[in-house]
Every structure is written in structure tokens, then in C-alpha cells.
Amino acid sequence: MPDDNTKRPHDTFFKKTFSDGATVLTLLRVKFGKVSDADVARVERADDEAVEHFLERVLTTDSVAAVLDG
């Protein structure tokens, strides 16, 4: 079994495929409906680490604000 520091093949695929703001915005719209222009701009400005955080939070929160501010 690989240790926590070993990259798995799907990790690279995931990061290349889903590591942009467009995916975050799609998930926000599907789950919460309309996303404000300010929130769209915030997602579009986000760095890769923030995008990954947003992708994780969208699964467990109950509002756009909770995703972006959490």
C-alpha cells in the first residue's frame, strides 16, 4: 500500500481535469442555483489551492458563501 506521499495516477488526472474555476462554478450552479457576479469573479481569481478547497467544500456545505468563505 502506498504511503500518503506517493502520487496515484488518478491524482494527476483529477488535477488536470478539474482544477479550474469552471468546474467549481458548474458545481455551485447545479447545487445552489444562481451564483453572483462577485462570487464568479472570486472563483475565477482563485489559485489552484483555493480551487481544490472549493471543490471539496461544495460537497458538504449549504451555501455558496460557505463554500467560498470556509
pLDDT at 1: 45
20 Cβ contact partners less than 8 Å away, ≥ 6 residues apart? 51
Ranges of H-type helices in the chain:
9-18, 21-32, 37-45, 48-57, 64-69
pLDDT at 67: 97
pLDDT at 20: 80
Residue owning grid cell 491524482: 11
**Rounded Cα–Cα distance for residues 36 and 27 (Å):** 14
Predicted TM-score (pTM) of this structure: 0.73
More confident residue, 2 or 52: 52
pLDDT digits (tens, 9 = 90+) for 18-68: 558 999 999 999 999 999 999 999 999 999 899 989 999 999 999 999 999
